[in-house]
Structure 1
């Protein structure tokens, strides 16, 4: 199980450069990741994806997405953070890991199609995803296939903005699937802008801001407060945003 992470600052050559100049990352010494579900919340550019990418790479997942068995690369954009973090692990030891990235899942599906087009002594890769080529599904359907068929209770799963492909009702389906997997031993680390996913029961919530990184209760999150304000009076909020 993933218990936490530590940034080994002695290995950082330029503490004032990217990504160490991101406020939320700059203040990390050791971060607790002991919960079955850990969720990072923050504005665009706050460091969520950079942090998840480093965690997934340390778990030996492909930085562009996929499991430890995926080795494709379309562009090397990996930040140096993965070289300076140390993951703290403990029992039980998870045998599986997978990195889902909303922006590169198309590439994962393409790589699966390529692998299944080659001669192999094993079963097709697509058989682990419900037996259907992911390119024949919508993005949201493919994400649910991932949760329902590919993920197992034996794994650690890093997911960057899974809600990007999901309708609200499908987000509830994803929450149910994640809850079922964690009850049986799986662990998730997520980054999201969705107040629905943020409400995951028992999740540890971290908010990344221009001031750093803080553990929050659900009602304290800026995203949640913003959505509550909008839903309470959408006409007023929109009038303020669109007035001349």
Structure 2
């Protein structure tokens, strides 16, 4: 555990009527205390979970389009509007880590190719070959297995985007191998009921206009998936029923 607290500097916010401060979960947010090596952010699209994760990346001085401190490249609309309005409390402060942003991972891979051209194309931290020479899922796993090391904080925004269910289980093993040593911290925004099933984590819900701790079995992700698997025919019949 390194990052202990996230505080919103409400007195510095010009208006809570403007995005992203108008998002209900952000508007009601004061501070979060992180108590586990793995913390999940969950919530509907637009609930603010990725917005806050991106702001944390900004304060960590990671590239908010994806990458670490040394990955300098530009992507349109990658700026964090919330980043300057939060304060992070550390014990101890660390600078190593990575921000995985699934939606702009292609841009990070392109940046990495340019960097590695000047280094003899070693790709030593990414499995020994260009991420473009691997499938989307393989490139994610190459990143997790080779770039993620101890004494670091890792911010993952929807890592399941490129991972099959079996590869998501592989990610759980990677989380366990790193976090159980107490020398790596993860904050993960996800919709995956498989990834959320990691047992040694806190789950923070951004729904219902606030950020609050929730049990795994109480998440919409678990409940809806469970209901679908147990009542597939009934649910699909209701879903596809023509309006009378």
Q: TM-score, normalised by structure 2?
A: 0.95
1:136 matches 2:133: yes
1:29 aligns with 2:27: no
Map 1:222-241 onto structure 2 (within 5 A): 222-241=220-239
What is the distance in 1 between the residues matched to 2:174 and 2:23? 33
RMSD of Structure 2 on Structure 1 (CA): 1.3
3-state DSSP of counterpart to 2:125: helix
Instruction: List structure 1 segments (4+ residues) > 4 angstroms apart after TM superposition.
Output: none
Name 2:201's counterpart in structure 1. Answer: 203
Q: Which segments of 5 or more consecutive residues in structure 1 lack a partner in the other structure?
A: none
2:152 is equivalent to residue 155 of structure 1: yes
Matched length: 240
Find the aligned partners of 2:149 and 2:121 in 1 and give their Cα distance: 18
- State the SS of the aligned residue for 2:213: strand
Question: Who is 1:171 aligned against?
Answer: 168
SS at structure 1 position matched to 2:123:
helix
Q: Is the 8 A contact 2:60 2:95 kept in 1?
A: no
SS of 1:80's equivalent?
coil
Aligned residue number for residue 8 of structure 1: 9
**Equivalent-residue separation in structure 2 for 1:34 and 1:59 (angstroms):** 19
CA positional deviation for 1:90: 0.6
Query: Matched residues in 2 for 1:74 and 1:202: separation?
Result: 34
Which of 218, 221, 225 in structure 1 is aligned with 2:219? Answer: 221
For residues 199 and 219 of structure 1, the distance between their equivalents in structure 2, rounded to whole angstroms, comes to 9
**SS, match of residue 97 in structure 2:** strand
How many Å separate the matches in 2 of 1:145 and 1:116?
A: 15
